[in-house]
């Protein structure tokens, strides 16, 4: 497989650093950032070379705004995943995307215009891969440290022409019914100033959701469907959050995997048949926020927060043997570069048109073993990996929509 010099350098730096740690030479650091115990544990377990078989589960991580520069700050669990490729991210009508258009491309396999969520440029509904998994009998989940109603998670479970229609998004997400939804955005689920009739939170309770509002309640949760709302809007930065109120991204990921995998196994036992397990999307939105703010102190800690969540998924995948783990980004933010001394430079405070990385490990990883893909390919390849490609592509809302500009298979 071809690798760009930057990606090869990232992989070699992470793995050599960990070899030095294992040999007792120096402190456990990657660049200027300490390597977390969770990430270290995930990487020191040799990454398996997975056979080319079909996964039962797929976990998709999205580092909002995360390019190669951000990853070079310290993401050893991600960097040592065996498959690495590059992803183009342009939106319909422009080289620079926003999270709405990019997440819609990853969720549906179709390009759209900025601010559009789960719809094409004409506002026509597009079926998402999350909905395809649900309709095939699988379980689904969304985890984020942003508001659940923000563009990236919303694009997998809602369909609006303006990403700012967050209360409509909240109601649509409850209707779509992911089995797990964990993040912020409580304000969009509670009664509003001008809309107090049966808000989305009450709709969720009517639909059977257990609703939790803090870390202890999340840890105690034992059933699906589960809705966790831990902030009015986005959660706080990883280092600034109150751990009693706001769980970490890794903790939310662990709970989602725990509940989804247990429910999928129970369903498989009850039917005594082969199963489609679960599809889980996990986003760290705060990488993007730190890059917009050109915050060189916060950015490395948010990359680590994502890496620790990925480490949780990789540990599960390597034990389970049936789970494909993917890590990518919706776009790059800030034109971030890091020099040999570990100093961070920002070229802007906005999104860029730079390519972003994609990493894969687990059954089905070879589908991603190419030098370059478009973000529309991600949904198509996930559907293909899960054996849903034909039904996903032939869904009326998808077959009638404008074809993706690049990469549709």
β-sheet bridge partners, residue 372? 86
Residue 224 gets which letter from DSSP? S
Q: Could you tell me the two tokens for 389?
A: 């490609």
233: burial class by Cβ within 10 Å (0-12, 13-18, 19+)? middle
Task: Give the sign of the dihedral formed by CA 329, CA 333, CA 335, CA 336.
Answer: negative
Cross-strand pairs, 338: 344
CB contact at 8 A, 287 and 306:
yes
**Would you state the structure tokens that stand for residue 163, as one six-digit string?**
């990403």
Rg (C-alpha) for the chain, rounded Å, is 20
Q: How far is CA 168 from CA 164, 184, 195, in A?
A: 9, 16, 11
- Cα separation, 235 vs 252, in Å, equals 12
Q: Choosing from 72, 99, 215, 352, which is the catalytic residue? A: 99
CB atoms under 10 Å from CB of 52, counted, come to 10
Per-residue H/E/C for 63-94: ECECCHHHHCCCCHHHHCCCEEEEEECCECCE
Burial grade of 136 (CB within 10 A; 0-12, 13-18, 19 or more): middle
CA distance 67 to 72: 9
* Cα–Cα separations (whole angstroms), residue 260 to 179, 255, 330: 8, 8, 25
Q: Which two structure tokens, joined as six digits, stand for 167?
A: 């209360």
49 tagged catalytic: no
Hey, is 227 helix, strand or coil? strand
**Active-site annotation, residues:** 99
């Amino acid at each position: 497989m071809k690798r760009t010099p930057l990606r090869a350098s990232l992989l070699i730096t992470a793995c050599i650093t960990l070899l030095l740690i294992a040999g007792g030479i120096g402190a456990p650091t990657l660049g200027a950032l300490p390597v977390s115990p969770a990430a270290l544990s995930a990487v020191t377990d040799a990454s398996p070379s997975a056979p080319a078989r079909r996964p039962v589960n797929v976990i998709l991580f999205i580092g909002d705004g995360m390019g190669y520069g951000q990853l070079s700050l310290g993401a050893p669990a991600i960097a040592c995943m065996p498959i690495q490729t590059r992803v183009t991210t342009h939106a319909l009508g422009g080289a620079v995307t926003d999270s709405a258009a990019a997440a819609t491309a990853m969720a549906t396999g179709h390009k759209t215009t900025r601010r559009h969520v789960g719809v094409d440029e004409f506002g026509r509904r597009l079926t998402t891969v999350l909905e395809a998994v649900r309709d095939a009998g699988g379980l689904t989940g969304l985890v984020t440290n942003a508001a659940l109603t923000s563009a990236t998670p919303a694009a997998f479970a809602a369909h609006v022409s303006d990403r700012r229609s967050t209360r409509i998004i909240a109601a649509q997400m409850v209707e779509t019914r992911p089995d797990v939804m964990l993040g912020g955005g409580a304000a969009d689920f509670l009664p509003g100033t001008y809309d107090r009739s049966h808000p989305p939170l009450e709709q969720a309770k009517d639909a059977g959701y257990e609703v939790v509002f803090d870390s202890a309640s999340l840890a105690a949760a034992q059933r699906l469907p589960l809705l966790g709302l831990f902030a009015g809007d986005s959660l706080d930065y990883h280092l600034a959050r109150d751990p009693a109120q706001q769980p970490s991204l890794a903790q939310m990921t662990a709970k989602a995997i725990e509940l989804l995998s247990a429910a999928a196994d129970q369903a498989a036992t009850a039917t005594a048949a082969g199963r489609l397990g679960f599809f889980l999307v996990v986003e760290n939105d705060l990488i993007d926020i730190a890059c917009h703010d050109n915050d060189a102190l916060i950015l490395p800690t948010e990359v680590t927060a994502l890496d620790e969540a990925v480490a949780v998924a990789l540990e599960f995948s390597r034990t389970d043997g049936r789970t494909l783990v993917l890590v990518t980004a919706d776009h790059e933010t800030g034109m971030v570069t890091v020099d040999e001394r570990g100093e961070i430079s920002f070229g802007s405070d906005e999104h860029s048109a730079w390519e972003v990385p994609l990493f894969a490990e687990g059954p089905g990883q070879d589908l991603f073993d190419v030098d370059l893909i478009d973000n529309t390919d991600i949904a198509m390849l996930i559907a293909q990996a899960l054996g849903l490609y034909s039904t996903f592509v032939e869904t009326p809302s998808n077959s009638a929509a404008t074809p993706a500009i690049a990469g549709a298979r």
